[in-house]
Amino acid sequence: MTAATAPTVIPAPTATRRRRVRIWLWLPLTPLFLLLAPFALLLAPFVWLGTPGRRGNPYALALAIGRVLVSLGGTVVDIDAPGARLFIHIS
């Protein structure tokens, strides 16, 4: 028998089922942002001095970023893929 005519071996199908992976994650970020807010206000002038254009109010920028981060509270991300499920709750 030559290599070209050798019979091919097909593995038998197995009866194992793969379990879906579930990941549940709860992130309490809003209290963390509120605790870090004073540091953002204290560091705002240094960030303003480090920028080349020095346009705008650094405190207004720090408050705007804080508003965006706090508004993320209540966000729910639910991803349902064939092999896994991911659920993230940001509060």
Residue 13 resides in a domain: no
Residue 47 resides in a domain: yes
Residue 72 resides in a domain: yes
Residue 28 resides in a domain: no
| Radius of gyration from C-alpha coordinates of the chain | 27
Domain count, the chain: 1
Three-state secondary structure of the chain: CCCCCCCCCCCCCCCCCCCCEEEEEEECHHHHHHHHHHHHHHHHHHHHHHCCCCCCCHHHHHHHHHHHHHCCCCEEEEEECCCEEEEEEEC
Residue 6 resides in a domain: no
Residue 31 resides in a domain: no
pLDDT (tens digit, 0 to 9) for every residue of the chain, 91 residues total? 555 666 667 666 665 566 767 778 787 887 888 888 899 889 888 877 877 776 778 888 888 888 888 888 888 888 888 878 888 888 7
Q: Which two tokens stand for residue 60?
A: 């207004």
Which domain, by its residues, includes 49?
Answer: 39-90
Give the pTM.
0.54
